[in-house]
Amino acid sequence: MSAAWRRGAALAFAALASLGARGEVTAREAWVRGTVPAQKSTGAFMTLTSSEDAKLVGVATPAAKRIEIHTSSMQSGVVQMQALEAIDLPAGKPVQLRPGGHHLMLLGLTGALKEGDSVPLTLTIEGRERKRTKVEVKAVVRPLAAR
């Protein structure tokens, strides 16, 4: 092997290693529950997978005045929702945001969400060294009764 080939291989390896260091979060099966005309809130759901340990720390959309990260739990036979500051995204493990568990609450909707519409969501992910990145997601609107 020549010295030039070894230098080239070392540079290629360093470039690949730096790509992995950035981390990546993917969202699958993103959807939002449809609404009736006067309704001012709804839920958004998806499965998130991160290539490195990270956290979902924020979400924004033009479809609502604000979005909160929530979890639901059953307490004394009553479903309770609680706002969370973040949801942990362990490396390589899918995290489901689903009805009855972790989910996103869209509050102060700017209009009714009809089946088949698409809602843009911008996820804020906090990775290593508290670096924040944005992930753009298009969530399809499902019928009001969807689960």
What residue spans define the domains of the chain? 23-142
3-class DSSP assignment, residue 16? helix
For the domain with range 23-142, which CATH number is right: 1.10.287.3610, 3.90.1150.10, 3.30.70.270, 2.60.40.1890? Answer: 2.60.40.1890
3-class DSSP assignment, residue 15? helix
| pTM value surpassing 0.75 | yes
- Close Cβ partners of 126 (under 8 Å, ≥ 6 residues apart): 54, 55, 57, 86, 132
**pLDDT per residue over 94-136, tens digit each?**
999 999 999 999 999 999 999 999 999 999 999 988 999 999 9
66 exposure class (CB count in 10 Å sphere: 0-12, 13-18, 19+): exposed
**pLDDT per residue over 73-98, tens digit each?**
777 778 778 899 999 999 999 999 99
**Is beta strand 41-50 parallel, antiparallel or unpaired with respect to 95-97?**
antiparallel
